[in-house]
Every structure is written in C-alpha cells, then in structure tokens.
C-alpha cells in the first residue's frame, strides 16, 4: 500500500501530509476538492484515500459514498470534526477509519501499516474452504460471499470482519478483540466495530433488524451462528 491520495482543501495541511508521507516512502497525490479527488482516483487509482469532511462543493461524506460506489479502496477520514454523530455518519457512508485532527504522521503511518497488513493480497488455495451459516456462504481464500447462492459485494474491511467471525463459528468475540484482529489496533474506538457490523447485517441478513446469523451477545460482543 504505497500510493496515497489526500483529499484536503487546506493547502498547508495537504502539502504537509504530502511531504511527510513521501518521506516515509509513500507515493502521495493531493486534491483540493472532492471532484478533483474523484477524477484523480478514477484515472490513477491509489491504494488508499485520506479525506477531509469539510470540503468545498461536494463534501467529504458524499465523496466517500461515490468512492465506495466505484470500488473498495480503503478510505481513512482525517477531520477536525470530532462529534460522535459525524464519526458514525462517515463510517456508515463507507469509511474504514477515522482520525481527528491534528494527526501526527507517526499515528497516520501506523494506521496505514495496519491497513496494509489486514488488506494485503491473500493467496488462493487449490482447495477452497466454504464456511456455511444457513444460506450464508463465506469463501475466505476466494474473497467471495454468497447469500442464497447470490454473490454479495462487501468492502475489504467488511469482508475481513466477516471472515474473522466466520472463522470462529458460534464463539463470541468482543469489540476489542475484533479491533485487534481486524483493524490491528490495541485498543480504539469500538464504534468502528458497531458501524461495520451494522453495514454487514444490511448485506447478509434478510432482516437486519432481527439478524439470524450475525448476532449481538449483550455485554460481550458479536458472534456468527449457523
């Protein structure tokens, strides 16, 4: 994960991030508006997109939704907005992570390394393992998920989360365990897990309000059951 697109309208912040990331060995590209960022990503795709929420014209939330509609590029929000509703809204729009300004380059690169570890390519085995939970099928090695035989499109973070739960059928995993195993964070905001679980349920459950497979165990965490 060496290519980074920075969508940030503040010239000082954008240039500072560009120089800092390039010093860390990344190939960084900048865009001052969401429109410019979307065009840049479409023409020259980066491995990850860093995006501010308060952008002129098309705002960061809409930019995230458009990026997510076009693919599963990892998206990290870097914003001065620290209200919990903004954080949840950005994650629900499709962001993979959220950092509040000011952000140190040390923390940012640590998050990028975590993304690289958990979203890196995995080898395809000759014999594929199919994990079945009723009408839900997960094929980790092939990156495939099916519900009732029909393919389901997930982001890479959603897929990693589902695979972690599917790999421990019937076992409750706490939010902190999932943060460590999926996001590679030792501690962190548990809302990352809750929002991604909610998005997963909308895609794999017949009724996301009354889930059959991805269930909450009150006070403990989540589990995937057959």
19-27: Cβ within 8 A, 24+ apart: 20/105, 20/108, 21/105, 21/108, 21/109, 24/105, 24/109, 26/2, 26/112, 27/2, 27/3
Look up the pTM and report it: 0.68
Residue 180: partners with Cβ closer than 8 Å, 6 or more residues away: 186
Domains, the chain: 3-119 (3.40.50.2300), 131-224 (1.10.10.10)
pLDDT at position 72 is 82
Q: Check whether 127 has a pLDDT greater than 70.
A: no
Residue 11 reports pLDDT greater than 90: yes
Q: In this predicted model, what pLDDT tens digit does every residue of 69-114 receive, in sequence order?
A: 888 889 999 999 888 889 989 998 989 899 999 888 988 998 888 7
* pLDDT tens digits, one per residue of 31-44: 999 999 999 999 99
What phi and psi values does residue 151 have, to the nearest 5 degrees?
-65, 145
Q: What does the pLDDT look like over 77-89, one tens digit per residue?
A: 999 988 888 998 9
State whether residue 198 is helix, strand or coil: helix
């Amino acid at each position: 994960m060496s290519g980074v697109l920075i969508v940030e309208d503040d010239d000082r912040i954008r240039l500072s991030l560009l120089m800092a990331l390039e010093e860390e060995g990344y190939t960084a590209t900048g865009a001052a508006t969401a429109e410019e960022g979307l065009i840049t990503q479409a023409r020259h795709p980066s491995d990850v997109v860093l995006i501010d929420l308060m952008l002129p014209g098309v705002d960061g939330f809409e930019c995230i939704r458009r990026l997510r509609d076009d693919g599963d590029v990892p998206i990290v929000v870097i914003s001065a907005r620290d209200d919990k509703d903004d954080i949840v809204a950005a994650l629900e729009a499709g962001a993979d992570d959220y950092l509040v300004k000011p952000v140190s380059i040390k923390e940012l690169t640590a998050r990028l390394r975590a993304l690289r570890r958990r979203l890196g390519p995995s080898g395809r085995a000759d014999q594929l393992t199919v994990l079945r939970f009723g009408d839900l099928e997960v094929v980790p090695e092939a990156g495939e998920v099916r519900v009732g035989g029909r393919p389901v499109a997930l982001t890479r973070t959603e897929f990693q989360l589902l695979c972690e739960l599917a790999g421990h059928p019937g076992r409750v995993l706490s939010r902190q365990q999932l943060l460590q195993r999926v996001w590679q964070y030792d501690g962190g905001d548990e809302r990352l897990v809750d929002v991604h679980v909610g998005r997963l349920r909308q895609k794999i459950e017949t009724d996301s309000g009354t889930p059959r497979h991805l269930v909450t165990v009150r006070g403990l965490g989540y589990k995937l059951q057959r």
